[in-house]
Structure 1
Amino acid sequence: MSSPLESAPSHIKLAVDLIMLLEQHDLPACEVLAALDIVKTDYQAKFDKVISSTNNTAFK
């Protein structure tokens, strides 16, 4: 029998993997949250850049 995670969307699987990785290192929650803020900012900038370049090429 398959687990619900096997059929979950890829972002859910990634979130579960990240949670497991962070919990294995037994880090303080405040450090994890501070690190995640940095990661989110970085990936938001990458996402915005892709969206911006996609929108710019659509109007050329």
Structure 2
Amino acid sequence: MSLENAPAEVQLAVDLIELLETNKIAPALALAALAIVRQDYERKLAAGAEH
């Protein structure tokens, strides 16, 4: 399966990984930041925001 045919969430994940790796973000820092991002988006989803 090529990336262009992959689901949108897979394409976004690959883009985010590339961004983090290109900027040499340490894995522990990336995970801590992603936890904050996840909490923010879970709050948005719970509030009914889709975008």
Greater share of helix: 1
User: What TM-score do the two structures reach when normalised by structure 2?
Assistant: 0.88
- Cross-structure match for 2:17: 19
Report the AA paired with residue 15 of structure 1: A
Query: Quick one: which of 31, 34, 37 aligns to 1:33?
Result: 31
- Unaligned runs of at least 5 residues, structure 1: 52-60
1:29 and 1:16 map into 2 onto residues whose CA distance is 15
Can you list the C-alpha shifts for 1:4-34, whole angstroms capped at 9, x where unaligned?
Answer: 1011111110000000000001111111110
- Cross-structure match for 2:44: 46
Work out the percentage of aligned pairs sharing the same amino acid.
Answer: 45
- Unaligned runs of at least 5 residues, structure 2: none
Indicate the structure (1 or 2) with the bigger Cα radius of gyration.
1
Stretches of 4+ moved more than 3 A in 1?
Answer: none
User: What TM-score do the two structures reach when normalised by structure 1?
Assistant: 0.76
